[in-house]
Amino acid sequence: MIPEPKANSSPVVWVIAIPSPLHKVFEYLPPASGRNNPEPGARVRLPFAGREVTGIFIEKRHSQLADVTKLKQVKILLDPSDTLLSRDQLTLLQWFSDYYLVALGEAIPLGLSNRERKGNAEWQPPLDHLYRTTNTQGLIEAPNRAKQQQAALAIIGSDTIAVKDLEQKGISKTVIRSLVSSGLASKVAAPNCPSPRKTRELELTDEQRHVCQQLGANLDHFQGHVLEGVTGSGKTEVYIDCIKQVIAQGRQTLVIVPEIGLTPQTRSRFEQALGLEVPVIHSGVSEAERSRAWSMARAGTAPVILGTRSSVFCSFKRLGLIIVDEEHDAAFKQRDHPRYSARDVAVKRAQLCNCPVILGSATPSLETLANSQAGKYAHHRLTQRPNNASLPVISTIDTRGLALTGGLSDRAIEQIADTVARQEQALLFMNRRGFAHSLQCEDCGWTAGCHQCDSSMVVHRNPPHLSCHQCESTRPTPTRCEQCHSVRLSSKGIGTEQLELIVQRLFKSTPLFRIDSDSVSNLSALQNVLSQIKEASSAILLGTQMLSKGHDFPRVTCVVVVDADGLLFSPDFRAEERLLQLLVQVSGRSGRAHLPGKVLIQTRNPDHPLIQQILDRPYSEKARELLARRRALGLPPSGALGLIRCDSKNEVDAIEFLTQLTAKVTTSKTLRLMGPMPTLMTRRAGLYRYQVIAHSQSRKEVHALLQQAVEIGSQLKIGRKMSWFVEIDPTETL
């Protein structure tokens, strides 16, 4: 209780964080009845902006308002006893709000499941089991005349039985209800933990065993660990060994992967090795399933939780280890509100929970390598594939002057043919979906552009239409040029849809699987395709980056990068790092089992330094060179960047808003502001996008400026005409 000073006559109020973009908390009078000493993090229902919302109680204090007559009252305290948010969760979410400049009322609900954010009760397991009621004399028996009830009790015995099993044995629902209503039996929840399953014993290499011993000796305290292992080196086996040790200590593990598509494979491997259910948290499962996983983690009945970005905020009873797999992946950065890096939040959470965090990748990010070099993270390496499997042989194909068949050179076609003839699989990587890049007029040069964006429309054939891959708008494929009305229209460039048709003609008897966001629209479809690939002996896999991330295809021995040039030239200073990571990851899909693998990179720039480095040097060497170059230029991770961006229907308003804002913020000699300037694609989805980039060697200095920008920008009238935001540690600055 807060002692009320004699001189202070203002009422005691509850400070509430409300889901609103406003960077402030709100005062409310306590409810008229009920408990008046809630714990921080308790949910409340209250009126706000003409509607009823769910807020989060922060603290009690005397009102700081000048006019307390305007105070509204909390309607009900939803969590009168225990809060759903643990103390370390609240600390994490308050840090998250401060660091990423997200309103507290939007940050704290991230620690709740979707149904809990709406004010609903925590998920409870269904009451679908019966057990016999006892008293001091033992089991209670049914009356002699109640033959059906006696038969049911005999089936139940002294154990617990599922209601559906009773029904299968001929016991009707009426009899079951009678047992419960008369007190002869009670309904209970199904056991939270499934019965143990047969586990697969790990066969660790000497290198894996050495890393496991190093990690196992440091599982009782916070420490960042980098697990850098070449593709196919068995990082998952190391994860499983560490998880087993954590479970033996009675604690839980959170495993975060970058993409939903990786969860089925990862979940299956974990459940086989651990012998227990691994609940998942991502947008591809139902809200009920996510709520169930969240509740099991909070209760401590789920030893392992597997999820994507948002799972980093999940409730845990005894969190003992966090694993971030493929930590380099850009998908860990959320690009819409609230903008954050799940990898960085995971490290902070591990620190607050005093547990280790493992960042695993074959191609660690430069940020992670910098922390390793600075001694902040322990660095562990796996340099070999198990079972004497060798890394693939990488070579280039100079496509200058070659006559290509659907983008494929004769040499690539020959290698694919040899691969399928050996009853093996080939993977063709092309990072452009659709049939063709654009539709052009052969007479006047007109290109079918998006009416909402500064981009051309992509040609699709199944079904026929044009699509903008920026704003997802579509329109029918025109038969005449919109400028000169010529009928001589032609498709330019090749996408996965066109390459699929060409490969089908070249290899008519070979199964072909195309994997991109057009052909595989949901998780169920992806699982179906992956299972078909697993069952096939010879096959051709064709796809985009969906194929390059962490999938294990044991029979793939030939990888063809159809067009590396589309990845080579970009004004983004991170382009080189991302290209190296992508090519190494794609190449790593080849030769992962006992079969030797090869990689062919088709390019019109075979002498480009990045292409040459892929051929003859390991990723770690190339990455350290890039890191040294970043240091020399003062760019992240050595320097710090911040972003102020706005989207406006009126281009002049966007420029004026940023001009007014930058004129009012405080800068220094060590902090540069670049802009206002247009983004690389100035108009997108009908909005003009302009930005200001802040650069300094001090992250604190950039953070302070963006915090000031939030306060000033919210006061500018012109800012109400548009959408705008600030971003800490942006990964895309174009």
Judge whether residue 111 has pLDDT over 80.
yes
Residue that is written with structure tokens 């540690």 in the block: 729
Q: pLDDT digit string (tens) for 156-177?
A: 776 677 777 777 777 887 877 7
Q: What's 379-391 look like in SS3? A: EEEECCCHHHCCC
Q: Is 643 helix (H, G, I), strand (E, B) or coil?
A: strand
Task: Supply φ then ψ for residue 294, to 5 degrees.
Answer: -60, -45
Residue that is written with structure tokens 């409300």 in the block: 18
In this prediction, residue 128 carries a pLDDT of 66
Q: What's 55-115 look like in SS3? A: EEEEEEEECCCCCHHHCCECCEECCCCCCCCCHHHHHHHHHHHHHHCCCHHHHHHHHCCHH
Distances from the Cα of 409 to the Cαs of 20, 120, 332, in angstroms? 56, 59, 35
Q: pLDDT digit string (tens) for 287-325?
A: 989 999 999 999 898 999 999 999 999 999 999 999 999
Of 93-102, 214-223, 469-478, 617-626, the range with the lowest mean pLDDT is 617-626
Confidence of residue 129 (pLDDT cuts 50, 70, 90): low
Cβ–Cβ under 8 Å, residues 284 and 236: no
Confidence of residue 124 (pLDDT cuts 50, 70, 90): confident
DSSP 49: T
Average pLDDT, rounded, for the chain:
89
Phi-psi region of 700 (alpha: psi -120 to 50; beta: other; left: phi over 0): alpha
What is the CA angle 444-450-455, rounded to 5?
A: 85
Helical residues (DSSP H) of 249-332, grouped into ranges: 263-274, 287-299
Q: pLDDT digit string (tens) for 621-649?
A: 889 999 999 999 999 999 999 999 999 99
Helix axes 173-181, 147-156, angle to 10 degrees: 80
Q: pLDDT digit string (tens) for 243-269?
A: 999 999 999 999 999 999 889 889 999
* Gap between the Cα atoms of 474 and 32, Å rounded: 55
Cβ–Cβ under 8 Å, residues 382 and 211: yes
* Gap between the Cα atoms of 299 and 288, Å rounded: 16
Judge whether residue 203 has pLDDT over 60.
yes
Q: pLDDT digit string (tens) for 390-434?
A: 788 889 999 998 999 989 999 999 999 999 999 999 999 998 899
Instruction: Give the predicted TM-score (pTM) of the model.
Output: 0.89
Number of neighbours of residue 181 by Cβ within 10 angstroms: 9
Residue 60, token pair as written in the block: 């009690």
pLDDT over 90 for what percent of the chain?
A: 63
Of 50-64, 356-370, 487-501, 592-606, the range with the lowest mean pLDDT is 592-606
In this prediction, residue 5 carries a pLDDT of 45
First-to-final CA distance of the chain: 52
Confidence of residue 81 (pLDDT cuts 50, 70, 90): confident
* Gap between the Cα atoms of 65 and 70, Å rounded: 9
In this prediction, residue 155 carries a pLDDT of 77
Mean pLDDT along residues 104-131: 85
In this prediction, residue 558 carries a pLDDT of 93
Cβ–Cβ under 8 Å, residues 328 and 368: yes
Cβ–Cβ under 8 Å, residues 432 and 543: no
Judge whether residue 278 has pLDDT over 50.
yes
Mean pLDDT along residues 201-215: 90
Task: Supply φ then ψ for residue 150, to 5 degrees.
Answer: -60, -40
Confidence of residue 32 (pLDDT cuts 50, 70, 90): confident
Judge whether residue 70 has pLDDT over 60.
yes
Confidence of residue 1 (pLDDT cuts 50, 70, 90): very low
Of residues 541 and 199, which shows the higher confidence score? 541
